[in-house]
Chain A
Amino acid sequence: EPEVTQTPSHQVTQMGQEVILRCVPISNHLYFYWYRQILGQKVEFLVSFYNNEISEKSEIFDDQFSVERPDGSNFTLKIRSTKLEDSAMYFCASREGRGSYNEQFFGPGTRLTVL
Chain B
Amino acid sequence: AQSVTQLDSQVPVFEEAPVELRCNYSSSVSVYLFWYVQYPNQGLQLLLKYLSGSTLVKGINGFEAEFNKSQTSFHLRKPSVHISDTAEYFCAVSRAGGYNKLIFGAGTRLAVHP
Contact = CB atoms under 8 A, between A and B. Distances in A.
Nearest to A109: B43
A14 B25 CA distance: 38
A33 B101 contact: yes
A108 B102 contact: no
Main secondary structure of the interface of A (DSSP, over half): strand
Q: Number of contact residues on B: which range applies?
A: 20 to 34
A77 B101 CA distance: 17
Contacts of B107: 42-43
Interface string A74-115: 000000000000000001010101000111101111000000
Contacts of A43: 44, 90, 92, 102, 104, 107
A65 interface: no
Given A41-B106, A43-B90, A103 B101 contact: no
Interface of B: 32, 34, 36, 41-46, 49, 51, 90, 92, 99-107
